[in-house]
């Protein structure tokens, strides 16, 4: 499904984010930036060692204690179709989603887009951050994700296309339903 926010296309689709050809894809990483399972594992496997090398440098220079939740950094896309990977960290929910988790998840999406814009990137793909291993409730996470993306796009019309690439039919449906609600509320 596709809508337009200002001059930007916002697309929800089912797929594997490691196949996207946008300028950047976003990684649902953890604070260590050293890789893991889920999307993170898939991105590092397909992108190759250049991504981890840059992540190590970021740890040594900018973030020796690890990347704080809600912040974002950028590396090469290595062997991926996408030229860059934006690494962000969503909240660890364990099923709970209060103001704190909401704000941190909002920041993860918003700061990723901010970084893309700062780097002059025009097209960005997101996975559904924090709804896998980090177990945030999908409905609430989807609403927060879409709110952050749409509020960013309403404020800045630099980015041309944002895709949210959902791995399963279930999470795709959740995002589709949430999009209707978010648009009605904004
Ligand atoms: N493309 C798109 N979405 C995917 C893909 C893919 N290739 N693979 C999985 N998903 P998760 P989190 C979906 O667990 O909850 C890692 O170990 C998946 O179905 O990847 O933010 C990190 O290192 C789910 O809907 O990320 C962290 O330690 C969504 O992506 C931790 O997991 C997010 O699931 C981060 O957990």
Which pLDDT does position 186 carry in this prediction?
A: 79
For ligand 1, the distance from its centroid to the CA atom of residue 41, given in whole angstroms, is 8
Which pLDDT does position 106 carry in this prediction?
A: 98
Domain boundaries, the chain: 2-185
2-185 has which fold? Answer: 3.40.220
Mean pLDDT of 52-72: 98
Q: What is the pLDDT of residues 103-133, one digit of tens each?
A: 999 999 999 999 999 999 999 999 999 999 9
Q: What is the pLDDT of residues 80-99, one digit of tens each?
A: 999 999 999 999 999 999 99
Which pLDDT does position 182 carry in this prediction?
A: 95
For ligand 1, the distance from its centroid to the CA atom of residue 132, given in whole angstroms, is 5
Which pLDDT does position 129 carry in this prediction?
A: 99
Q: Is 175 helix (H, G, I), strand (E, B) or coil?
A: helix
Which pLDDT does position 70 carry in this prediction?
A: 98
Instruction: Please name the residue whose Cα sits nearest to atom 23 of ligand 1.
Output: 36
Catalytic residues, by residue number, are 40
Mean pLDDT of 21-26: 98
Q: CA-CA distance, 13 to 16, in Å (whole number)? A: 10
Which pLDDT does position 185 carry in this prediction?
A: 86
Which pLDDT does position 14 carry in this prediction?
A: 98
169, with CB counted inside 10 A (0-12, 13-18, 19+), is exposed
Which pLDDT does position 25 carry in this prediction?
A: 99
Atom of ligand 1 nearest to the CA of 131: 15
Q: What is the pLDDT of residues 133-148, one digit of tens each?
A: 999 999 999 999 999 9
For ligand 1, the distance from its centroid to the CA atom of residue 38, given in whole angstroms, is 4
- The residue among 37, 40, 21, 43 whose CA lies nearest residue 29 is 40
Q: CA-CA distance, 112 to 63, in Å (whole number)? A: 16
Whether 44 has a pLDDT exceeding 90, the answer reads: yes
pTM over 0.85: yes
Q: CA-CA distance, 32 to 14, in Å (whole number)? A: 28
Mean pLDDT rounded to a whole number for the chain: 97
């Amino acid at each position: 499904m596709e809508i337009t926010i200002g001059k930007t296309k916002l697309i929800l689709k089912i797929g594997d984010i490691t196949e996207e050809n946008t300028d950047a894809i976003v990684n649902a990483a953890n604070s260590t930036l050293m890789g893991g399972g889920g999307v993170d594992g898939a991105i590092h496997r397909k992108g190759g060692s250049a991504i981890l090398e840059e992540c190590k440098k970021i740890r040594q220079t900018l973030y020796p204690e690890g990347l704080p939740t809600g912040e974002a950094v950028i590396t090469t896309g290595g062997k991926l179709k996408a030229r860059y990977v934006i690494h962000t960290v969503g909240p660890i929910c364990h099923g709970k989603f209060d103001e704190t988790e909401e704000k941190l998840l909002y920041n993860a999406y918003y700061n990723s887009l901010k970084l893309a814009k700062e780097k002059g990137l025009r097209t960005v793909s997101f996975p559904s951050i924090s709804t896998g291993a980090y177990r945030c409730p999908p409905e609430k996470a989807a609403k927060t994700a879409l709110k952050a993306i749409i509020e960013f796009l309403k404020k800045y019309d630099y980015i041309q296309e944002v895709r949210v690439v959902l791995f399963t039919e279930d999470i795709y449906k959740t995002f589709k339903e949430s999009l209707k609600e978010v648009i009605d509320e904004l």
